[in-house]
Amino acid sequence: MAEMAQRGRIGGRACSESTCSFCGRTGSSLSALVAVSGASICAVCLGECARILDTPAGAAEVAPTALPKPREIHDFLDGYVIGHQHAKRCLSVAVYNHYKRLRRLRSPAEAEIGKSNVLLLGPSGTGKTLLAETLARTLEVPFVSIDATALTEAGYVGDDVDIVAERLLQAAGGDVSRAGCGIVYIDEVDKLAARGEGPGHGRDVSGEGVQQALLRLLEGSRIPVPQARRSPRAPVPELDTREVLFICGGAFAGLGRVMAGRRHAGGIGFAATPDGAAAVPQAPAADDLVAYGLLPELVGRLAVTVPLDALDAKRLRRILTEPHDALVRQYQTLFAMDGCRLVFTSEALQLVAEEALAAGTGARGLRSVLERVLLEPMYTATDGELVISGEDVAGTRGGLRRTG
């Protein structure tokens, strides 16, 4: 503050006026008054300016104003994500600690708290993207989802990793400070693994090169964002990714074989046991991820590793009806807009879940099955009551049953 006050005196001149242009203080309450660019500023206001400029980026001004506790975050996730209790607990704690770090105003004598990015591992359709998106919704912070396979190393045709900053800024409505406390989900990061490649493979545009480029994002760097510039003459703002929480995800098919030598009897991989109160999937060690093909430096920047187990038919059926935005509720709302009451029998829900499970696409397959079953009634769009039975799902009945 003293340094800034000194700069103010050097940049300005002694002022004979007795009123501060900012706070309106007058008279003997002013120990000093400095004129800068046609305005007068007192020592108190000058000190407050210094305090604001010295406040670290990502402090309370841009972090969530009402930070929920881990149990509250977990409860919110329960309303949208079925199962994965251990994963939700890990994510709740990791996210809570991250935003506590942003809200904390550190004094020079205190230790700096490092950032812990997250790695989600699990089969396709288990809810990795949904977990990350719901976390951002809980905290009301900007969120973007990026497909790692669409990224290329700088200098090649395609999107380089700096596109992350641009999209996060768009999600924040152009506010650089708000974008700086957002959440970025990078999907399909396992597709960047350089397995089975010899030294003569050459440059890897979408693999190791992208991993190297992601390192600076996850560790923290200042990325220019020209889109946030208010005028052509203004300096180009920069997004500091040290305050951005990165969540990476991937199916990591075959990782179970890498881990096979060090796992206990009872199954390997992510589908070894269904999720339950006592079923905690074993997270792979850093050496396992390196053997799979990720760079050691990238693995080191993903401090929290959260495995998700595969979905079975029982959980897929729960996904149909239990979440706040359950698929059955969505279609019931669509039909209600046409004056039709949509009803599913218990057998129908079970068959929808089993068909989605057989497709191997996880929860994503549920919508495809429902679209097929409901295509004809959505086309005719008549009122009354529509009952979907197991025969309708299996396609063994000639037509859907309507009542009313």
Q: Report pLDDT digits (tens) over 293-343.
A: 899 999 999 999 999 988 999 999 999 999 999 999 999 999 999 999 999
Residue after which a domain boundary falls, among 251, 281, 310? 310
Same domain? For 215 and 75 the reply is yes
pLDDT over 80 at 62, yes or no: no
Same domain? For 265 and 320 the reply is no
DSSP state of 19: B
pLDDT score recorded for residue 67: 86
What are the backbone dihedrals phi and psi of residue 274, each rounded to the nearest 5 degrees, phi first? -70, 155
Confidence of residue 404 (pLDDT cuts 50, 70, 90): low
Same domain? For 146 and 34 the reply is no
Residue after which a domain boundary falls, among 291, 310, 329? 310
Confidence of residue 280 (pLDDT cuts 50, 70, 90): very low
Residue after which a domain boundary falls, among 310, 329, 358? 310
> Which CATH number characterizes residue 348's domain?
1.10.8.60
- Number of domains the chain is built from: 3
**Could you tell me if residue 64 is inside a domain?**
no
**Could you tell me if residue 281 is inside a domain?**
yes
**Could you tell me if residue 65 is inside a domain?**
no
**Could you tell me if residue 140 is inside a domain?**
yes
Same domain? For 100 and 130 the reply is yes
**CA-CA distance, 359 to 252, in Å (whole number)?**
19
What range does the domain containing 15 cover?
A: 2-54
Same domain? For 138 and 81 the reply is yes
Same domain? For 103 and 207 the reply is yes
**Is pLDDT larger for residue 115 or for residue 191?**
191
What lies within 8 Å, CB to CB, of 393 at 6+ separation is 348, 351, 352, 355, 369, 373
**Could you tell me if residue 183 is inside a domain?**
yes
DSSP track, 232-297: TTSPPPEEEGGGSEEEEEE--TTHHHHHGGGSPSS--STTSS---SS--PPPPPHHHHHHHT--HH
pLDDT in tens, 196-205: 443 434 445 4
- The mean pLDDT value of the chain amounts to 78
Same domain? For 35 and 119 the reply is no
DSSP state of 159: B
**Is pLDDT larger for residue 382 or for residue 130?**
130
Confidence of residue 281 (pLDDT cuts 50, 70, 90): low
**Could you tell me if residue 263 is inside a domain?**
yes
CA distances for 150 relative to 147, 188, 207, 217, 292, angstroms: 6, 10, 11, 16, 20
Neighbours of 67 (CB within 10 A): 16
Same domain? For 283 and 324 the reply is no
pLDDT over 80 at 45, yes or no: no
**Could you tell me if residue 60 is inside a domain?**
no
pLDDT over 70 at 22, yes or no: no
Same domain? For 147 and 176 the reply is yes
Same domain? For 182 and 285 the reply is yes
What token pair was written down for 357? 């499970």
State what percent of residues in the chain have pLDDT above 70: 71
CA distances for 321 relative to 271, 335, 343, 352, angstroms: 23, 16, 12, 12
**CA-CA distance, 300 to 153, in Å (whole number)?**
20
> Which CATH number characterizes residue 295's domain?
3.40.50.300
DSSP helix/strand/coil, 222: strand
**CA-CA distance, 362 to 201, in Å (whole number)?**
34
pLDDT score recorded for residue 177: 86
What token pair was written down for 134? 């719901």
199-232 CB burial, b ≥16 within 10 A, e <16? eeeeeeebbbbbbbbbbebbbebebebeebeeee
Q: Contact, 370 vs 393, CB < 8 A?
A: no
Same domain? For 295 and 209 the reply is yes
**Is pLDDT larger for residue 175 or for residue 326?**
326
**Could you tell me if residue 227 is inside a domain?**
yes
Same domain? For 83 and 197 the reply is yes
